[in-house]
A and B are shown apart, each in its own frame.
Chain A
């Protein structure tokens, strides 16, 4: 599928799709979207790029092994779950900062959890796809 149109389009699509993934991640709490879907979209952006330019080029863009995103994402998610325990609420209770911030919106533990999920999903999907395509 290495046509010139696809190749040129993919290099513009990658940043656009990543931006869209972050948009989906941020709107996730009250509207359809969230960390899982956002992570999938971000992963698909890289997969699309690898279809057009080959796996090696995509690895070059990411620079580190995508599996490394898993522990980072998991620790972010775990921290967001543990934060309420510090104030004596049950695990995973949503804590919110009351003043909305421009662009991002409301900040709370749920958003931090979603960011963790986002990173884990990117890490897992890219690891799976890179591993499968390497061994074919």
Chain B
């Protein structure tokens, strides 16, 4: 069922590159036009899994991947007809943190930067503690885009709140405005800044990260465009995440790949959204941590404040 057009295009020096079935360096070469001559010029390519590979320039063919301004335009429009939602089943989370690792890899984050953060929660003094993965809530009434002075963070029609780091001025008003602490800032040069130097900015993955600008979870918008589930959803070994299009009322589990009705899932399990009293209308739904699959083994209990 997987589309065979898993593509990732990176543009450099005016040459656009198409590579199908990106897994490792060799598969890139085999899938490109087989021009035997080598020009000796190497080009850096970013695979969808976040790996950086070097390819000979002569072996690349121009493809339909847009340049930066096209990419920004496309990134602002979003995927037509979609309305992405995530459902997080708190009863399944055992703090394996595979989601955090996959996310940091995909978005080139430093170890202390989290687009998704698995928190140890306890709602009140005597209630049971539980693990809570917390991505950006992609609010439908987003307090962060409200305050952005330059329209660098914005809401797309498919529900995703995205950031344009070619425009962000680094005022950090959005961090102050976000009640979910979902945003991070590049206080220093980002991880592997040297390595990704010259790689064209991809707004839908927010890579390469840029010093002095904001970053946060984007539901892996670049992967969604390729028909793939977000990095964290795919990486989870415990079936915590469901992800899908609310308009077609279906969500798919990242671990079991099972597809179920979104409305039935959230109704049957009495789903809730985080801090709904704030009126932010999150797009991330939580299934309560009832009948937990794993015992809580945390050590960092802090009272929910």
Say whether A associates with B. no
Binding site for B on A (CB under 8 A): none
Binding site for A on B (CB under 8 A): none
